[in-house]
Amino acid sequence: MTSPTLEAIYTRLLAHFSRLHGPLAVRPWWPIFGDDPAFEMLVGAVLVQQTRWEAVEQVVQRLLAADLLSPVALVQVEVADLGPLLRPVAFYPQKASGLRALAAYIVTGYQGRTATLLARPLEELRAELLALPRIGPETCDVTMLYGGGHPVFVVDAYTRRLFARVGPAPHQHEPERWWRDRYAQVRQTIEVTLAHPVPAEPPVALYAEFHAQINEVCVRYCLARPRCDGPPSRRVYSRQDGRESYLDRADGCPLREICRYYREEQHDAASRGSSGRKRGKPA
């Protein structure tokens, strides 16, 4: 069987989950609760580090209820008072000081307007964000893509896990490279590979939707312990009404037919079954 393309993976995921991002989505994959989307996305990108999204959503709503979901408001809060509001996200004391420093930076340099910061040219913005506290490559690109509308593909652990298992080109002969290669190298490989196969969608829309689809399939099926044949994980990923309406489906992962990992598991299971029958056959 030939190796799947990134386009084939995207097409199958889209057919299974429908649109998760953008104006055609029934429910937005990244819910926005306040009136400052750019800053809320930056806050969410920081909070979600080593944390499940459902905990982040809870904290975002808590900050909104406390009128702290803006740089101007957040910079006036003491870190000691902010920290307890960030529970139960991981490393909440460090994230409290990091968020307050980010708010101060935006207030000082951009009059509290996160959208103005994120409107800077792509490479200049990337360098500026990476120099700020609590922002690494993934957090930087999440913020640039979803908050600033820049054409950058977000590489997270879900992306590496899924592609290493499915084994798409161009690394079909070395699928471990999806894990081994550096962040920027994986991102550039994906962006170059997607430059031509899906011309109907602008890069920003394509990258945002594809990243959302990858996260969805990894939350539902391609877990650390895969659920290839289903049923999907019932994890409550977001509290939005109708957000998980597709969970009543009984079928398995939409990528099974093109997944290298699944084919190998099926082959190994068949081999074990065949060996067992031979051993049990009477002389």
pLDDT for position 197: 61
With bands split at pLDDT 50, 70 and 90, how would you rate the model's confidence at 251? confident
Judged against a pLDDT cut of 70, whether residue 198 lies above it is answered with no
What would the pLDDT profile of 84-133 be if each residue is shown by its tens digit?
A: 999 999 999 999 999 999 999 999 999 999 999 999 999 999 999 999 99
Return the CATH number of 37-147, one of 1.10.260.40, 2.30.42.10, 1.10.340.30, 3.30.1950.10. Answer: 1.10.340.30
Spatial distance between the Cα atoms of 178 and 167, rounded to a whole number of angstroms: 9
Spatial distance between the Cα atoms of 275 and 14, rounded to a whole number of angstroms: 39
Top-confidence range, 1-15, 20-34, 180-194: 180-194
Q: In 10 A of CB 280, how many CB atoms?
A: 7
Assign domain 6-23+154-264 to a CATH class: mainly alpha
Higher pLDDT, 240 or 173: 173
Judged against a pLDDT cut of 80, whether residue 248 lies above it is answered with no
Dihedral class, residue 230 (left if φ above 0, else alpha if ψ from -120 to 50, else beta) = left
What would the pLDDT profile of 51-69 be if each residue is shown by its tens digit?
A: 999 999 999 999 999 999 9
pLDDT for position 105: 98
Q: List the domain boundaries for the chain.
A: 6-23+154-264, 37-147
Q: Spell out the alpha helix ranges (H) of 34-91.
A: 37-47, 53-65, 71-74, 79-82
C-beta of residue 123 within 8 angstroms of C-beta of residue 141: no
H or E element, residue 207: helix 203-220
Same fold, 6-23+154-264 and 37-147: no
Say which amino acid occupies 110. Y
Angle, to 10 degrees, between the axis of helix 157-166 and the axis of helix 203-220?
80
50-64, 101-115, 217-231, 241-255: least confidently modelled range: 241-255
214-223, 245-254, 262-271: least confidently modelled range: 245-254
C-beta of residue 45 within 8 angstroms of C-beta of residue 202: no
Nearest one of 61, 73, 67, 70 to 31, comparing CA atoms = 61
pLDDT for position 235: 83
**Residue 181 C-alpha from the chain's centroid:** 18
With bands split at pLDDT 50, 70 and 90, how would you rate the model's confidence at 25? confident
Spatial distance between the Cα atoms of 247 and 188, rounded to a whole number of angstroms: 33
Spatial distance between the Cα atoms of 131 and 140, rounded to a whole number of angstroms: 10
